[in-house]
Chain A
């Protein structure tokens, strides 16, 4: 009973997160200016991190947790570097 509940809820959550990633990709492709694309890339990183956490719940292993932590770290660094690039024209000066 509880296994069926967990299976369906994880399936629904993964479908919702994939729909959210589709919205992010739409804004990444359509975005009128560069800052829209950077914002959608940041949201895409967050969605990928949450999707990895739901994969961890589905398989019952804690291996996916480290991958989610690394992805959130990459998201912070890349968004900060891209915002610096939009501001100054170069990342390290």
Chain B
């Protein structure tokens, strides 16, 4: 870390705060992915890592390189925008695929194909 000796103290504290915040939130999201019970609960947990986890680490990287090179380094915004745009798309695709698989195998706890078919299960919702 010889390149960080000329970093001012406030920048070091700010960068380490955002770095540890982002890494800890990513860890919390994956712990939730391990501990939650059903798949539809589990798919919510890693989004903690893709919103504030990635956001914290990218803000830390932006502050670090901006202070170190004494100019505005903002190319981390590219990763931020890309992650924020693509995560909902992929997780929606994955959740719809899982719902399709559960419906074709007639598993419990998922709504049926047509709502008018079986009125007892239509209002049950996806929670199990």
Contacts and interface: CB of A to CB of B under 8 A. Distances in A.
Interface string B71-98: 0010110110011001001110110111
Contacts, number: 183
Contacts of A69: 78-79, 82
A12 interface: yes
Bin chain B's interface residue count. Answer: 35 or more
Interface residues of A, number: 55
Contacts of B43: 39
B96 to A, nearest CB: 7
A88 to B, nearest CB: 9
Interface string B99-114: 0110000000000000
Interface of B: 1-5, 7-9, 11-13, 15-16, 19-20, 22-24, 26-27, 29-31, 33-34, 39, 42-43, 46, 49-50, 53-54, 57-58, 60-61, 64-65, 68, 73, 75-76, 78-79, 82-83, 86, 89-91, 93-94, 96-98, 100-101
